[in-house]
Amino acid sequence: MKLESPPDYSVRTVDMAFDTLELIIASDPTQITVTHLCCSLGISRNKAYRLLATLEKRGIVEKEARSGNYQLGISAVGLSQKILNSTNLIKHSHPVIENLAKKHDEAVYMTVLKDDEVLFLDMADCEQRVKAEVLIGRSFPFFSNAAGKVIKALETREIEKLFKKLKSRKTPCDVNLLEAELDNIRKAGVAVDFNGLGEGVISVAVAVKDYAGKVVGAITMLGPSFRMLSERLENEIIPSLIEGADMLSMKFGYAK
């Protein structure tokens, strides 16, 4: 009986693009010419030019003006850093949020922003009897919680575009008040939200940054309003969260 081979759904052009990148990474920078690419991958000069032109347009490769040789571009470096950040985020953040949860006996999360929603990625729970519902794996609009607000507040390049988008559609929040709130958060470096994630629930968040100063997520503490009193927030919780976020940011190469 003849066994059928599984269908091949791969796209040849994409395969060749990855082959090109692997060749550039593995080779001496002085070798990466169109001729070298043609010989190594067994493709025509026309195809090699088109591949390199596409990758160059996206900033994945760069052409050296004098020699005409190709090397990895700045976008490739940024992409690799994003991949490392996403795979290492939980690994690096969990001990930090665990220490914070033990220190203050409140639930602490590592949160990230996906488009305009906050994803509660990882959690260190507390021993309290009264506590907020477990939110791990759930997503919420950024304007409903401290994590989303602190991340958006520090995305200064995108902030004008964000408010234009919010004003052009029906959003269940006062855009003018939100704009003022984000401005205050940007100055303070910390966000505190009341009732956005449920009646009587307070969330506090501080951003975590990478080597380029870009926000990669936020350490977020949740607790009931009767425990998260103003004096405790100001004197205990906020300084601890800032210290934890600074420590985690340093793991991603951020230096003030």
> Tens digits of per-residue pLDDT, 201-244?
999 999 999 988 989 999 999 999 999 999 999 999 999 999 99
Label residue 2 by pLDDT band (50, 70, 90): very low
Kindly state whether residues 96 and 212 are assigned to the same domain.
yes
Query: Could you tell me if 151 and 197 lie in one domain?
Result: yes
Q: Does residue 25 register a pLDDT over 50?
A: yes
Same domain? 146 vs 62: no
**DSSP class of 73:** -
Average pLDDT over residues 180-202: 93
- Residue 204: which of 230, 187, 222 has the closest Cα? 222
The number of distinct structural domains making up the chain is 2
What pLDDT is stored for residue 29 in this prediction?
66
Name the 3-class secondary structure at 217.
strand
**What CATH number corresponds to the domain at position 60?**
1.10.10.10
CA angle (193 as vertex; 187, 196 as ends), nearest 5: 145
Amino acid 226: pLDDT: 95
pLDDT at 1 over 50: no
Mean pLDDT rounded to a whole number for the chain:
84
Residue 253 has pLDDT above 80, yes or no: yes
pLDDT of residue 48: 87
pLDDT at 159 > cutoff 70: no
Calculated CA dihedral for residues 127, 133, 139, 142, nearest 10 degrees: -90
Report whether 221 contacts 237 (CB < 8 A): yes
Q: Per residue in 76-92, pLDDT tens? A: 766 665 655 555 788 88
What does the pLDDT average to over 173-177?
A: 74
pTM for this one? 0.64
Are 230 and 171 within one domain?
yes
Q: Are residues 246 and 177 in the same domain?
A: yes
Determine the average pLDDT of the residues in 134-155. 90
Give residue 167's pLDDT band: very low, low, confident or very high (50, 70, 90).
low
Are the C-beta atoms of 222 and 71 separated by less than 8 Å? no
Q: Same domain, yes or no, for 155 and 246?
A: yes
